[in-house]
Structure 1
Amino acid sequence: MSKRLPRPGQRGPLLTQKRQLKMARSAHAYVRGNTTRFYEWLERAEATLPHGPAVWICGDCHVSNIGPVADADGKVEVQIRDLDQTVIGNPAHDIVRLGLSLAMAARGSDLPGVVTAKMMEQLIEGYEQALSGKSGTGRTRRERPKSIHLMVRKALRRKWKHLAAERIEGLEPNIPLSRKFWPISDAERSKLKTLMASEEVRALVTALSRRDSQDRVELLDAAYWVKGCSSLGLLRYAVLLRVGKSRDPESSLCLIDIKEASRSVAPRDKVVGMPKDHAERIVTGARQLSPHLGERMLASRLNGKAVFVRELLPQDLKIDLERLSQDEAMEVAGYLGNVVGRAHGSQLTIEQRAQWLRELGRNRPKTIDTPSWLWRSVVQLVQDHEGGYLEHCRRFANVPA
């Protein structure tokens, strides 16, 4: 298998081709992989977005970037799980991005347009509920829909064996080379070994409650990770570590994700400062928006590039809305809006939340509960994405894999 896999110097063109093919698989995949085009289209949209408070936003707030996330003690919450595009910016951008993602999921489930309209109503209602009281109180939270509740229960039951089966296709302490894992050079392996031997990484991987802070960390294997969509082409490594002396994989084996931190395409606030280093920006944003994930991340450098490091846990899952019923679609929209609203609201004082709520409530049409700026933005973006997706398929779907 390894003889047929690309050498390190051959990755670039192949990764670009894989990204284009992956985006052609479905309209929803096209939305996920096209953050840059999203903001270009949004800038041309006729709707004027409300100017929200300057807070850390996800910047790429689509459905698959939200899901169950575990903290160092094993507690699981549904939070934002991908912060590559995070900036201090306008929270309305996250609302529209999530609205577009939900609308495309509804179209993929062959739901009528009226359901999409009601999903937008539920999205903004759930978001506003998160701002309606003191941050962290029960009043701000929405009850989990059944599908989300079952996913959280599944996350709580997951063990290392489940993560290994999904990510590295086996329980042995190595990463088998495959279409997902490509060989690395001796120079890359050496630099990864140096990074994994640092005190910062040791502190990160021993932070889990089941490990001792003095545990020894040993690199067992590493590979280039062909993963994601918009990130294909950036540095991405999977590293398998053994932590401590135990041979019990549940407590000793550790799968590390190392990812290049690139410039965010999300519009940032021009007044409020944030870290200039892209890895520091991502980790800082994660700690504000998704504390469970942020406490498990580390900013560093590799091959002269900014990277962020995190341990993958079995409990981390993404929400996948392949087929939705009408009732479930509306419940999920309201709940995810609430998750994002709590992430934004946790950064605001009570007075700031009240002011943002007033701004969100302006210019509401009498016939529907969805703000006109949200509805008009989503409708126009769906049209733009549908046309863009079809053109993308014409250009790339017939390219040999």
Structure 2
Amino acid sequence: MSSPAERAAQGKRARKYAPRSSHAPWIPAADRPDPVVVLERQGADRLPDLLPVRYGRMAAGPFAFLRGAAAVMAGDLAAIPHTGLTVQLCGDAHLSNFGLFASPERSLLFDLDDFDETYPGPFEWDVKRLAASVAVAARDNGHPDKQAHLAALACVGAYRANMRRLARLGELAAWYERVDAHELLPLIRSARHRRRAEQTLAQATRRTSLHALAKLTETTPDGRRRIIHDPPLLEPAGISDAAALRKMFGDYRSTLAEERRRLLDRYRFVDAARKVVGVGSVGTRCFVLLLTGRDADDPLFLQIKEAGRSVLEEHIPYHGTHLHPGHRVVSGQRLLQAAGDIFLGWMTGPQGRAFYWRQLRDMKGSADIAAMPPDELLTYVRLCGTTLARAHARSGDRIAIAAYLGGADTFDRATAAFALRYADQTARDHATLRRALSAGVLTAAPQA
């Protein structure tokens, strides 16, 4: 292992081939692919009856489009010179992919919460996607560009400040860092913001499997529990799907630690359903399993989600060991999150498709970004920037990255400038999608 001085020198050397100020420009390449073509290519292996749901959700506005267009932005980032300072990327680090969840010790934590696209790559790709999402969200909320720029600047500044703080810590101290949600409340100065945060924490605490039992299931006339029918978003699995899920369950179980396998063995299978989730994931194969433990009032909901290739894979040679896409997602989540889901696992399903498993609800919650005024958004994006730095510090060389970023705000200002320029690009891409829908090239399902 290199000394701290050598690691810092490596980070400073990266400035020679990717100066901090070089992150500001965004000029689309002349041969930049049509974003609709990129989305159609992604949809080729997805469930065709769900693609209109995806396009309908993405058409709602530029921020919704950005959420679903990780593949589009991955290609754009790959066309820009990068630092070469590698971390385990989230791969889709936009504002809506941060949230609350329970640790195994039942503390409520704030962290990244989506890892479908996780992959090793240059740290700044996550930072740029996050900053761009800040600018797009601010504009969607009606904030002027001055406020959008200020928010993006605050987000990146928080990332840099926390990475520099983490660089001064020992290895274990940096690894054990976490953001306890309840510890955030005293830091919120506005009484209005604090009340909103308290409501979000309270809602997350109630979002358990028992809460899902009341919301997602019904009792049949013969007294059995069944997942409700709410097409196309939630549909009971057919006989063949249910049989396949039972078989997959055993393979998934083998990827858990021994003590967790024993815990899982105390539950029995009750029902399964196909479920539509997210924006970018719509059309991938996703199921929900209802299990019961001690009795019918002791439920466990597991989500089984298809794992494909990361959108980053075609742009970065893979040097990792997890060739199985489900294993890639699980490994990335365990590395990036401060505390992991005890039922996180993976397996291969029918037709060789890869899947990963996790709890559907375990005190999970998220902020209502669309309702945030400028000052509240500023507080939230700082938290997200701080959290992303903590995640990157677990897998990358935090000392080298901190040295690259430096004490001045050069990187912050450059990335904030990029964020606004990319927000312009996102608005153009969203308009392209809307035109494709109007022309009948794509079909969008009406949104509730």
The TM-score bracket by the shorter chain reads 0.7 to 0.9
Question: Which of these residues, 374, 391, 396, is aligned with residue 432 of structure 2?
Answer: 391
Instruction: Go from structure 1 to structure 2 and tell me whether the alpha carbon gap of 1:59 and 1:104 turns closer, same or farther (over 3 Å shift).
Output: same
Measure the CA separation in 2 of the matches of 1:57 and 1:38: 14
Q: How many residues align?
A: 373
Cα 1:119/1:271, change in 2 over 3 Å? same
- CA change 1:79–1:400 in 2 (3 A) is closer
SS in 2 for 1:174: strand
Pick the aligned partner of 1:285 from 296, 320, 332. 332
Q: Which has the higher helix share?
A: 2
1:210-229 → structure 2 map (5 Å cutoff): 213=263, 215-229=265-279
- Residues 99-136 of structure 1, C-alpha deviation per residue, up to 9 Å, x if partnerless? 11111111111111111121122112211232213216
**1:359 aligns to what?**
404
Question: Which among 358, 367, 370 is matched to residue 412 of structure 2?
Answer: 370
Note the C-alpha offset of 1:294: 4.8
- TM-score under structure 2 normalisation? 0.75
Q: 1:23 aligns with which of 58, 64, 71?
A: 58
Take 1:206 and 1:170, find their aligned partners in 2: how far apart are those partners? 32
- 1:76 equivalent in structure 2: 108
In 2, Cα distance between equivalents of 1:227 and 1:217:
25
Structure 2: gaps of 5 or more residues = 1-45, 189-193
Aligned pairs for 1:27-106 within 5 A: 27-44=62-79, 48-49=81-82, 51=83, 53-106=85-138
The 8 Å contact of residues 361 and 371 in structure 1, kept in 2 or not, is answered as no
- Is the contact between residue 99 and residue 120 of structure 1 (CA under 8 Å) also seen in structure 2? yes
Amino acid paired to 1:23: M
Question: How far apart, in 2, do the equivalents of 1:345 and 1:27 lie?
Answer: 30
2:58 and 2:365 map into 1 onto residues whose CA distance is 21
The one of 342, 346, 359 aligned to 1:311: 359
% identical aligned pairs: 22
Give 1:189's match in structure 2, choosing from 242, 258, 262: 242
The one-letter code of the counterpart of 1:164 is L
| In 2, Cα distance between equivalents of 1:75 and 1:92 | 30
- Output the amino acid matched with 2:427: E
Q: What secondary structure, in the 3-state scheme, does the structure 1 residue paired with 2:203 have?
A: helix
Residue type matched to 2:132 in 1? L
Counterpart for residue 113 of structure 1:
145
Deviations 1:173-230 (A, max 9, x none): 311111212243322111111233558179679849xxx7375332111111122222
1:128 maps to: 160
Give deviations 1:275-299, integer Å, cap 9, x for gaps: 1111111100000111433543101
| CA displacement 1:131-176 (0-9 Å, x = unmatched) | 213216789999464354542343234444433355x165873111
Residue pairs, 1:268-283, within 5 angstroms: 270=317, 272-283=319-330
Distance 1:258 1:271, change over 3 A: closer
Cα deviation for residue 265 of structure 1 reads 1.1
User: Distance in 1 between the 2:47 and 2:263 partners?
Assistant: 39
Post-superposition Cα deviations, 1:23-74, rounded to whole Å, max 9, x if no partner, equal 11122111100111112233456xx54x153221100011111100112332
Distance 1:271 1:359, change over 3 A: farther
Aligned partner of 1:238 in structure 2 is 288
Write the letter of the residue equivalent to 2:336: L
Q: TM-score, with normalisation over the residues of structure 1?
A: 0.83
8 Å contact kept, 1:69–1:316: yes
Partner of 2:85: helix, strand, or coil? coil
Q: How large is the RMSD of aligned CA atoms in angstroms? A: 3.1
Which residue identity does 1:190 align to in structure 2? A
Could you tell me whether the CA contact under 8 Å between 1:63 and 1:319 is conserved in 2?
no
Query: 2: distance between equivalents of 1:280 and 1:34?
Result: 23
Report the Cα distance in structure 1 between the residues aligned to 2:356 and 2:252, rounded to whole angstroms: 15
